[in-house]
Every structure is written in C-alpha cells, then in structure tokens.
Amino acid sequence: MILNRYLFKEIALSFLATLLVLTLIIVGNTFVRLLASASSGDLPLDLLGNMLFYGSLRNLVRLIPIALLIGMMLAFSRLYRDSEMVALRASGVSPAHFFRAIFSFVIPLTLFMAVMVFYASPELEVHNQNLKQEMYERPEAAGIPEGEFITSGNRERNYTILAESMDASRTKMERFFIRAKDQASEVLIWARSAILFIDSANGERFLQIRDGYRYESDEAKQGMSIVRFGEHGIRIPLRSFTRDADISTIPTLELLALASPKANAELQWRVSIVLSAPILALLAFPLSYTAPRQGRFSKIAVAILIYGLYANVLATMRGMIERQEIPAWLGMWWVHLAVIGLSFWLLRKYYGKPS
C-alpha cells in the first residue's frame, strides 16, 4: 500500500504538471488566433472570452492522453535516474505492482474522460457552434464596420454599404445606407435601421431593412422610381459563410441510433479518445525503461513520435470510415490492438516473461 501511494503520487504530480503546461500552450495559441480574428474584424470582441472558454474546454479532453503518456514517462524516468527502480526490482517488485498503481490512477481518469467525451463534449460543441452562429450574424463578421464605407463585388455587380452606428448588442445597425449597382440598374437604399441574419436553408447573409426609401434607376426607361417601405430584405454576398451540419454536436445516444458511415466514424472516434488513455498508460511503463547512463528524456521524443503516429492513423481511419473505404467493423479497433501489442512486446523485452 505504501508503494502504491508513492507511485500514485508520482504519476499524478507529473501528469498534472504536464497537462498544465500543454493547456497553457494550447490556450495561448487559441487566444492569439482569436485575438488576430478580433483585430481584423472577423470576430466581435465581446465574444472572444466565450470562444476561448469553450474552445479550451473542448481541447482539454484531447490533451489528457498525451499528458498522461508524457507525465508517466517523466515519473518513471526519474525513478530510473535516482536508481529507485533498480532498488524496487531488486526487492522483488514486479511490473504487476506498478500496473496496479498505474491503473488505480488511470481508471478514474478514464471514467472522467468517458463522461466528458460521451456527454459533455457534444453540449460544449453545441455552445461553440451557437457562438459561431452569433458571430456570423454580427455585422462585423459580414465586413460591415461601424461608421465606414465598405465596397464589395466586381465591375459588373458591386455594393457600397454604410452603417452610421450600431446598438449595444452590436446586431442592429442605425441609419443604414446601401448602393447596389449592376450593368442594368443602380439601387440606392436608405433606412433607419437594419438587422443582419443568416438564412438557415442556404447559409447566406440577408439584411432586414426597416423604415426607409428605395431609389432605383432604370436606364431603359431613363427614369428613377422611389419607393417608401416599412420592411425590405436584401442579400449581401460580402464575406462567404457556409455552415455544414456538425455531427460532433449530436449526443452519443442519438449517434447509436444512426446507421450512416459518418455516425459510425464519429462514434468510433469518441470511443477511441476514451480508450487512448488506458492504452497509452499501458505503453508508458515499458517505454520509459532507461538503461544505466542513459538520459532521463531520451525516450520522450520516441513517445511523442508514437503518439503522433497513433493519433494520425486514427484520424485517417476516421476519414476512411466516413468515405466507406474500409468496413465499419474493422474501423479503428486494429490501431488500438497494434499499440497494445507494442506495449506487451516492450514489456517482455525489458522485463522478461511474467512469472
């Protein structure tokens, strides 16, 4: 029990330290990317915090397996460096003792990951998609800054737009002006207010303009018509916006009822994220074996390389299942079996046959 508590503490501390460092790196990169989008006007500044929060939570679960692999290797490498591993093995401590301590930590962590991946992650993705929807419905995301003339289009058809001001919610534009010109006619519209929205059918942006005037020239009749309107709609193809249905937002129980290749791929992907934690924990112990006078960090690069190969093959298999290039029953399972096989081969190589 003393040995189990000691190993549990070493693994937990190394894992948490590694996870913290990786999280700071990912959150920092995400913040810089979102800040760049906000600076260029693609992301409303008041949504930056929410986008960062939900994006970081979504990525946190995916960081746990690699943090577990590196953290465990750092913990066991320290035991080798300080000759504690040699003393433990000389005292008759077998690999089975180490695995009892390892999985006393990994099993609760895997259960936590299962709850996050199967239940919480789809909800987080829904919130993330809703934020993106709100972002694209903002005038700034469509390329309509406050108090500036902007022009879009080509010589045959172009637009000039001005929104003098916006309300506190940054969704309603006050004193709105638009000029639309093509080869046949020219239209000028002035209105007291305008609201941008997204057509759910085709994903295109439309302006709902209220209380204004429409001036339209007709070169064929050599005249101009003036219309006063209460409400008017116009499509504005300023910045492209496409939003496909994201299967990652579908709850796991609903995925089980779907029989499409995309649903099978998503379901296997979620299971793979959960399984990767105990599989990489199984690999970490024999992979961290360090010979005398060998550096503590000599195997970390190898571990990262194996993880990169493992994760990329899983992602490739996911795409192949979606495209029906491989059968769903084969799917990603063989990738996990290959890593488990590598773990047992390394265990036998460094520690011999189990007694």
Q: What angle do CA 147, 153, 157 make, to 5 degrees?
A: 115
**Do 114 and 256 belong together in one domain?**
yes
**Do 48 and 120 belong together in one domain?**
yes
**Do 128 and 253 belong together in one domain?**
yes
Question: Average pLDDT, stretch 325-348?
Answer: 90
**Do 123 and 8 belong together in one domain?**
yes
DSSP for residue 204: -
How much is the pTM? 0.69
- Percentage of the chain exceeding pLDDT 70: 80
Domain-ending residue, one of 205, 235, 265: 235
Single-letter amino acid, residue 241: F
**Do 189 and 254 belong together in one domain?**
no
- Cβ pair 141, 148 in contact under 8 A: no
**Do 259 and 314 belong together in one domain?**
yes
- Domain count of the fold of the chain: 2
DSSP for residue 331: T
Residue 65 lies in a domain: yes
Residue 156 structural domain: 150-235
**Do 230 and 291 belong together in one domain?**
no
Residue 8 lies in a domain: yes
Residue 240 lies in a domain: no
Question: Average pLDDT, stretch 282-288?
Answer: 89
- Whether the predicted pLDDT of 167 surpasses 90: no
**Do 228 and 270 belong together in one domain?**
no
* Other CB atoms within 10 A of residue 235 CB: 12
**Do 29 and 160 belong together in one domain?**
no
Residue 144 lies in a domain: no
pLDDT of residue 256: 85
**Do 176 and 293 belong together in one domain?**
no
At 154, the pLDDT band (50, 70, 90 cuts) reads low
DSSP string, 230-273: EEEEEE--SS----PPPGGGS-HHHHHH--SHHHHHHHHHHHHH
Residue 155 lies in a domain: yes
**Do 219 and 266 belong together in one domain?**
no
Strand partners, 193: 174, 210
Domain-ending residue, one of 212, 235, 258: 235
- Percentage of the chain exceeding pLDDT 90: 20
**Do 331 and 312 belong together in one domain?**
yes
Residue 142 lies in a domain: no
* Other CB atoms within 10 A of residue 107 CB: 13
What is the C-alpha to C-alpha distance for residues 162 and 177, in angstroms, rounded to an integer? 5
Domain-ending residue, one of 235, 267, 291: 235
